[in-house]
Amino acid sequence: MTVDPDLIGRLRTLVVARAVFAALLLVSTLYLHGGRDMPGLSAPAGMLVGLIALLLLLSAAYGATLGRVRNPTACAYVQLIGDTLTVTVLLQLTGGFSSLFTFLYLVVIVTSSLLLPRRGTLLVAALCSLQYGFMANLEAFDVIRIFSPEDAPLAAAMDGGQVVTKVVFIIIACMAVALLSSLLSEQTRRSRRELHAMGDHVKRVEKMAAIGEMAAGLAHEIKNPLASMSGAIQLLREDICSDPDHDRLMQIILREADRLSALVSNFLLYARPPAGKAEALKLDKALQETVELFGKKTGLDARIAISVNAQPGAWTRMDPSHLRQVLWNLLVNASEAIDETGEIRIELAAAKDKQLCLKIADTGAGMPPEILQSIFDPFFTTKANGTGLGLSIVHRILESYGCRLDVDSAPGRGTSVWLYLKQIDPPVALAA
């Protein structure tokens, strides 16, 4: 299982913050019980110090085990649920229903939104609400006695309506804070992922541009001698008397020269993609046509199911041959990643900032991180007969239109490719 280093770092911050809070609470407790009375603090100093000592021990244990955690999300759940119980006990020792430390429930909920998904934050908020309501009910019905100056349960002396009102208010506050904080945390995480993806894209573009400039001149210098060599061999075949051995050797030379010429042509296409003739394309229609043609030509219908879910009426501007080449290369990669039977799912939907998001996901073997980070490098391939230029050419074509390509993959769960294309309004003639 892959350990999330960001989550481990946030857990480490939580451990430190918990230890600091416990230390401050210990200092204030010893100070207040060292000869001064505080009416709002009615718990015996020994029990409160014992709770603080437990908090410090738990913080030390959490910190010692963080380096060996295999599932940081489960560790976060354990710590936060433990924190809700700790807050409830702290309330019991400091006035129960009327304790000044009730706000700590909200602190735990906000912290959970930074570590857990929304459902986890709502779970923590529900636990805080249940614990507070349960404690208030037990106190109101005199089932438990809260430490107080009068040695009487404070909720029992209050009107039932007041107790219910405060409990409902606390529950609403907990759930509202959970929803708002989780929403903000999700937006922050989403923005961080997008910034990371954009940073990777910019690095790839800069790297590929530098390689492309060097490769363009080199490809031309190689292509011209290859053409001369092929022409000379063909002339020799015509002039030299028929000799089966010589003819076979010349055929080998011509075949390999053609293969090198095709490779150089692809490399030149990567280095300097042709500008093409951009035109308005109805993307869902072009996508459906390419998928149907791909299924017929490759004969994959019986082995691989291809599903298309495209938003109708989505338009973009691109050369049709370029779009077809991009889609074809991605479909070929997806189909080759599936060993036996599987599925390729294609989804097209509108994204923010006037973009269209085209997702192509397969159920293939997937790629480990060390391969994933190199798939856009020219001549990098894991295929026996591959050239390693397919994705590099796709990236360069999309770059020429100001579009972006992101890839996510992991062994055992397949590969997903996202194309972010510029969305345009339908042509005026069609719109009218």
| Mean pLDDT value of segment 310-333 | 89
For the ranges 4-8, 119-123, 275-279, which has the lowest average pLDDT? 4-8
- pLDDT tens readout for residues 201-216: 677 666 666 666 666 6
Read off the pLDDT band of 22 (50, 70, 90).
confident
User: Alpha-carbon torsion 173, 174, 179, 185, what sign?
Assistant: positive
Read off the pLDDT band of 122 (50, 70, 90).
very high
What's the per-residue H, E or C state across 126-159?
Answer: HHHHHHHHHHHHHHHCCCCCCCCCCCCCCHHHCC
Q: Alpha-carbon Rg of the chain, whole angstroms?
A: 33
So what's the pLDDT on residue 124? 92
Is the pLDDT at 32 greater than 70? The verdict is no
Higher pLDDT, 154 or 346: 346
385 C-beta neighbours (distance < 10 Å), count? 5
Q: What is the pTM of this model?
A: 0.54
Q: Token pair 């700590």 is at which residue?
A: 104
Higher pLDDT, 243 or 18: 18
So what's the pLDDT on residue 125? 92
Separation between Cα atoms, residue 90 and residue 101, nearest integer Å: 8
Read off the pLDDT band of 43 (50, 70, 90).
very low
Q: Token pair 């363009």 is at which residue?
A: 216
So what's the pLDDT on residue 126? 92
Which two structure tokens, joined as six digits, stand for 197? 């993806």
